[in-house]
Amino acid sequence: MQLLNSSFSLIPLEIRKDKKHYIVEDKTSGEFYEMPEVCVIAIELMSKGITLGEIENQIKGKYPLEEVDMLDFAEQLLELQLVAEIDGVKVEICKKENQSLGYLWISPQFGKFFFNKTALLIYIILFFVNVSFFVTNPSLFPNFKDLFIFDYMFLNIPIWMFLSFVLVLVHEFGHVLAMRAYNLPTRLEIGHRLFFVVLETDMSLVWKLPSKNRNVLYLAGLCFDTVILFIALTCLFLFSNASGIYLSILHVIVLDTFIRMVYQCCIYMKTDLYYLFENVSGSYNLMENAQQQINSFVPFVKSAAQEEVIFAEEKRTVLLYTIFYFIGIGFTLYLFVCYYIPQLLFALKKIMPGFFQGTATLPFWDAVIFTLQLLIGLLLLLYSWRKKYLQMQM
């Protein structure tokens, strides 16, 4: 109780109004926290040197229906290492590393060339043009066999990996350019989704922007995917009589881009569309709240000790997200049933006979090299999982 008579001095913070609450930025570490209005008022009163007890009385007088506990809030601020001094005595703070971000050499003007009102309208038009391509020309719709350009599997994997890597870079550079359009630094990292290694753009600084501006950053990758898909489909349509290898490569591009765009709809994972959904709704713990909602229907999973609070105003949003959560699982099953599993079975069917032929034969080495390629992909995935696990432990 003695702490209620103490005054707190906080480290440099920047506070911005968001849709429902406020975003508080730790200027030292670059970390962001979502806080309700009463917390922001408490922080502002702390900056004036008012004691915790006086702050609690003032807030209770202004918000009589709110449950105000300044001791609990002070402990949270200490845990977050946002307190610089208590009654003039410095608080020891473990220095948080403010990870350096880059791509500052890309001018904001260049980013704005790709992300302005006119460009966004073009991306929307191209999206519907792509849909019309598939509807009017069903032969352009990707097939799982489009992945296999050559009869030998070990040749297909490097070409697919190269094309996929280039296409993923294009997708991620959409995010990078969108970040630079708002003069924000960023970087590329290796991550994973389910069993797949992916590149990820660090978009942690999007919280510096107003909510409406963040939507463009989340959709930027899909905008570039739309352009790539349009170019590939147009080339397939106009040059249908071109050489086989040229058409095969275009089909791989269509297949890879189509799968990536469908994958973004799997918002039970934190895909670009998940963050868009979060941002539009203004609810920033949707996945956790939805999982809690789902677990509440499973008696042996539900734990009162672990149960979190879902605010009344967020219940509809969480329910809507839960519906999309299961739709996303449906999209994942669709990708596995129609593409991933058939591709794996087709490849295994092609290489298995090779193991039973002599070591001097090309089919044998095709089987061996293809197997090694799969193992390398698995090792990259394990590295990604390990990296994410270590980050969670920090």
The DSSP annotation for 2-23 comes to: GGGG-BEEEPPEEEEE-SSSEE
Of 269, 319, 270, 257, whose CA–CA distance to 294 is shortest? Answer: 319
- Tell me the backbone φ, ψ of residue 151, rounded to 5 degrees: -70, -30
Please give the pLDDT value at position 2: 66
Q: Are 198 and 160 in contact (CB under 8 A)?
A: no
Q: What strands, in cross-sheet order, belong to the sheet with 8-10?
A: 8-10, 83-86, 89-90
DSSP 367: H
Q: Are 230 and 258 in contact (CB under 8 A)?
A: no
Note the pLDDT tens digit of each residue in 40-86: 999 999 988 889 889 989 998 888 888 888 889 989 998 888 998 88
Note the pLDDT tens digit of each residue in 310-350: 555 677 888 888 889 999 999 999 999 999 999 989 998 88
CA distance 259 to 194: 14
pTM, full prediction: 0.83
**Which sign, positive or negative, has the C-alpha torsion 270, 172, 244, 354?**
negative
Please give the pLDDT value at position 287: 81
Rounded to the nearest 10 degrees, how much is the dihedral formed by the CA atoms of 278, 279, 282, 283? Answer: 20
Please give the pLDDT value at position 304: 41
CA distance 90 to 9: 9
Please give the pLDDT value at position 305: 38
CA distance 33 to 40: 11
Q: Tell me the residue type at 317.
A: T
Of 158, 333, 129, whose CA–CA distance to 252 is shortest? Answer: 158
Report residues of the chain scoring pLDDT below 70: 1-2, 95-100, 191-197, 293, 295-313, 381, 384-385, 387-394
